[in-house]
Every structure is written in structure tokens, then in C-alpha cells.
Amino acid sequence: MRVIVAGATGLVGSEMLKVLEERWPAGTMDLIPVASERSAGREVFFSGKHVRVVTMEEALGLGAEAALFSAGSAFSWEWGPRLAEKGVRVIDNSSAWRMDPGVPLVVPEINPMDLKKDHFLIANPNCSTIQMLMALKPLHDAWGLEEVVVSTYQAVTGTGRKALQQLEDERMARSCASPAYPYPIDLNLIPQVDVFLDNGYTKEELKMRQESQKILHLPVLRVSATCVRVPITGGHSESIAATFRQDVSVEEARLLLGRMPGVSLLDEPEKRVYPMPLYCRGKNEVFVGRLRRDPDHSRRLHFWVVADNLRKGAATNAVQILEFIRAQGWI
């Protein structure tokens, strides 16, 4: 199978190459790495060999069957439909198509049924939404989700290489020529992820609301998010308060989460066992802990969720979609 990875030299694109190597049988995939004209001609290392990076124009004629996009919304708007019209299955990691009613927004452990054979353009959800819903889905199935209040603590890798460079420069007391953020990030928290909207929420916070409603098929689900950028290099964390239609049980929640594919339960606070971003890096699971029932509300559960935002939050989820499509015999 021939697969395009667009944005192959970026943070998420590079992680996609790693995940493909780890999960795909050796020798069964021909990689077509795509990047901007500035990066074309460089090489990436994949499956034991160096592969030349090409432009999207060059890739068009190379007979790809699938494409993983992580090159920004403008790129996706331009190239997604063009490849889809040629019969290429496009799995897009940008926000370009997520809320398009004709494009499925998929987390394979949650809503694979939304993928159909005639879908050639498929959206990968936002990293923060994915890890939150991986924890919420089994609880929703048991008790019926009504409302979510979430605060996120998001690593600088969610912004990209420019943000990593800013953090490194600040930690080394160097001048940063092109900062990603309007304020220092080292030794600081920035309560803004993406731009602000008229209602005081940011686009990132709105994404978590709208995408959750679409993925769970709950158009009236109440979701209120506060997204914060924190000075760590990998792994997003979330503090979640979820209210359900029925009374909740911590013991049952542990059982439900323990059976959820892709979720790892780390919930032994008496032994100081709980998820932390330092220990989730490079892992594909979503880690859940600090489970407790609200002392004043029998239908509300509080918990802590951590995941590698470049893995399950982006690259791994996209590759899992590709695996599902392949398993169906659609490519």
C-alpha cells in the first residue's frame, strides 16, 4: 500500500512515521513523505531506509491509496478534496473538516460506525477532545452523560516546533528570535490556547464542545472548557468534572475504564499512583486516575486524564483510522 504523509517533517508528521513503523507490518507500505517546497528534497528515515521528501504536486501522480494529513487547515482545504476525488482515503489531522456534516469525525474506539465505504475524506479530532472522550465514553454508556466541565494543561508540542524552540531558549536564557507565544512560557502558564471568540472562550475550547457533541452523537451535550498552555514538552493533562443522568460509583467507574480499549487506569492515590505527562510520553494509551465522586453531587464524577498529544491525540488515532479502513477491505 502506498501512503502519503503530508507534513512529514513536522512534529505530528514525524510521529506518524514512527507510529506507522511500529504498527504496520514491515515491507507492506510504500511511504510518500510530503512537505513544503522548502523541505522538498530532504530525506526521512522510514522502515530501515531513507525516503526522499516530495511536494504535494509530485505526490499526486504516485498512485497513493491513502493519505495522512498534518500540514494545517489551508493545505487540507486545498488538497483534501482533490485527493478524495482521485479515490485516495484522506485522514486529516487539521480542524478544516471536523465540523463538516458530510465528513466523519472519528475516534476508532468510540465511533467507528460513523465510517462508511464511500467516505474518502475523514477528520481526526482535536487532541484534547480525543483523550477526554476516551475516558468519558464507557461512563456515558453506563450512566448517560449530561455535562462536562474540563480544564486542560497542554504541552507546548501542541503548538509546534516554534513553541519548543521558545521554551528551550527561555530555559537556556537565550534570546528567542521568533517566539510562538506573546508571553514567556517557561515558569509560566498561559490561559489561552488558540484565539479568543466573542463569547470569551477560545477556539480550542469551542472545539472540545462541538467535537464532543458530534462524536458522541449528543447535540445538546453541555461542555465548558478552559484550556491552558503549560511549560512541558509533551503530554496533555485534563481535570474533568462529568455529570450524568444517574448516580455514579467510583468502584464501577474503575471497572468500566479498566475494560475500555486504549485506556490505562492509574488510580491508587494512597500509593501515589496517578497519571503524569512525564510518564505518558511515547505511549499510545490514555491514562486515567484521581477518580472521586463529588461530595455534594451523587451524579458527578471528577477525574484526571493524561495522554501524549502527539500520539493518541494525533498520530496514533490517525493510523488507527487507517488500520480500520484497511481491515474493512476498503483499500
Catalytically active residues, by annotation: 127, 236
Residue 261 CB contacts under 8 Å (≥ 6 apart), including other chains: 109
Assess contact for 233 and 156: CB atoms under 8 A: yes
Measured between alpha carbons, how far is residue 94 from residues 79, 87, 122, 181 in Å? 12, 20, 11, 20
Burial of 150 per CB tally in 10 Å (0-12, 13-18, 19+): buried
Assess contact for 319 and 29: CB atoms under 8 A: no
User: Angle at Cα 245 formed by Cα 244 and Cα 246, nearest 5°?
Assistant: 90
Give 165's DSSP letter: H
Assess contact for 311 and 19: CB atoms under 8 A: yes
Q: In 3-state terms, what secondary structure has residue 87?
A: coil
SS (H, E, C) 301-315: EEEEEEECCCHHHHH
Assess contact for 159 and 234: CB atoms under 8 A: no
Assess contact for 128 and 227: CB atoms under 8 A: yes
Region of 120 (left: φ > 0; alpha: ψ -120 to 50; beta: rest) is alpha
Cα 26 to Cα 10: distance, rounded to the nearest angstrom:
23
Residue 152 CB contacts under 8 Å (≥ 6 apart), including other chains: 128, 193, 204, 208, 225, 226, 227, 228, 236, 237, 238
